[in-house]
Amino acid sequence: MENEILNYKPIIDGYSFVKESDGELIFFNRDTYITCNGDSVEDILALIPLFTGNLSTEQLAEKVELPVEYVCDIIQLLANKNIIKNYDMNEKCIFTSKELQRHERFISNLTGSLSSSFRDIETMYSQKIVLMGNEELQGNLKRAFGTKFSFLEMNQIQNANLIIAVDFYENESLYNEANELAKSFNIPFLRALLQEEQFNIGPIFIPNETSCYNCFISRKITNCENSYLSYKFLKKYNSEWNEEHISVMPGTIEMFSFHILSFVMKYFSNCLTSEIIGKEFTYNILTLSSNLNPVLKVPGCSKCTGAKKNLKKDFVLNS
């Protein structure tokens, strides 16, 4: 008998169960079902309420008054079918804070698997982020993110998993710099912008997969009725912008920061879908309305395709 099984602390991993009238025991989750037959069904039913991750195999055998070797065989059978997991394998992921416990339950309920929630959170919280842009917004982001992610300095950018650039206006020089860094180091880049009445989060630009910031600003300007004048106005506004132009309702910066946190956590999750990959999310603070707008690549974009010259759709950026 292996010590590994003796020290096992079994916990049901995302399965429900039912006993049929013919004595068959069925374990099921969203994706599959597993049947059990034979003389051991009643003993398995006696053990199921005790599969909480708190009792070892030896303690379980003592509770149900069954031979420990026999209980080991049952544990091994159920573990081989992935019905139970050893809770000790996840000791490093046992969460003590309420926030992490709630997050674990959220992922577990979504996936139907305790072990997948541990893996997902462990992966998510090991990611590294580089922040760029307005220092006040960076500070609020760090407070909102807490200890969930590691923040790197610019000289460590090669080790980052994501670049986040934030400002109070469409700071082209900032976002273009982030775009170039993303391309150079092959790191995804998230643009975020907070203005008087609304905030914009995204797109997350992924080098060689999605559109880039140059594609985004090209489409944004050329969609205007008079793209040339619109771009000149944007250039003039950006050149004259200063801190005195900041005008936001109290609480808006915090709302903006926590929205970014939500999108970033979904982006790094293996179980959730990030809506802002290649898309821009906009939220109007006054009307409480929101939009999710796709940003397609500009054919022949000088930045993400490496073309020497821009096509006509991209002309405005070189005017």
pLDDT digits (tens, 9 = 90+) for 251-273: 999 999 999 999 999 999 888 88
* Domain shared by 166 and 268, yes or no: yes
Q: Quick check: pTM over 0.75? A: no
- pLDDT at position 237, please? 65
Pair 143, 69 in one domain: no
Q: Residues of 11-27 as b/e, b for ≥16 C-beta within 10 angstroms? A: bbbbbebeeeeeeebeb
Q: Does the residue 53 lie in any domain?
A: yes
CA dist 15 and 34 (Å) reads 10
User: What confidence category does residue 295 fall into, taking pLDDT thresholds of 50, 70 and 90?
Assistant: very high
pLDDT for 190-249, tens place per residue?
A: 999 998 889 999 999 999 999 999 999 888 877 766 666 666 767 766 766 667 767 888
Q: What is the pLDDT of residues 82-131, one digit of tens each?
A: 788 776 544 444 555 677 777 777 777 776 666 667 677 777 888 999 99
Same domain, 133 and 238: yes
User: Do both 141 and 85 map to the same domain?
Assistant: no
* Domains: count for the chain: 2
SS3 content of the chain, % helix, strand, coil (to 5): 45, 20, 35
The answer to whether residue 104 is domain-embedded is no
Distance CA 300, CA 309 (A): 8
Element (H, E) at 166: strand 162-167
Residues 273 and 219 in one domain: yes
Q: Name which residue leads in pLDDT, 31 or 145.
A: 145
pLDDT at residue 317, rounded to an integer: 47
The HSE-up count of residue 90 (CA atoms within 13 Å, CB side) is 24
Taking Cα atoms as reference points, which of 144, 132, 116 lies closest to residue 213?
A: 132
Residue 110 lies in a domain: no
Please state, in angstroms and rounded to a whole number, the distance separating the CA atoms of residues 171 and 195: 12
Residues 154 and 61 both lie in one domain: no
Tokens of residue 131, six digits: 């922040």
Q: What is the CATH number of the domain that holds 48?
A: 3.90.930.60
**What is the average pLDDT across 129-145?**
94
pLDDT at 79: 84
Q: Which of 15, 7, 26 is nearest to 116 (CA)?
A: 15
Q: Which residue has the higher pLDDT, 168 or 242?
A: 168
- Residue 107, domain member (yes or no): no
Q: What is the pLDDT of residue 318?
A: 45
> Residues 137, 75: one domain?
no
Say if residue 193 is in the same domain as residue 78.
no
Q: 43 by DSSP, 3-state: which?
A: helix
On whether both 258 and 202 belong to a single domain, the answer is: yes
Residue 229: the pLDDT is 66
Indicate if 49 and 137 belong to the same structural domain: no
Residues 46 and 132 in one domain: no
- Domain C-terminal end among 90, 116, 133: 90
- Supply the range of the domain harboring residue 237: 125-318
The pLDDT, as a whole number, for residue 18 is 86
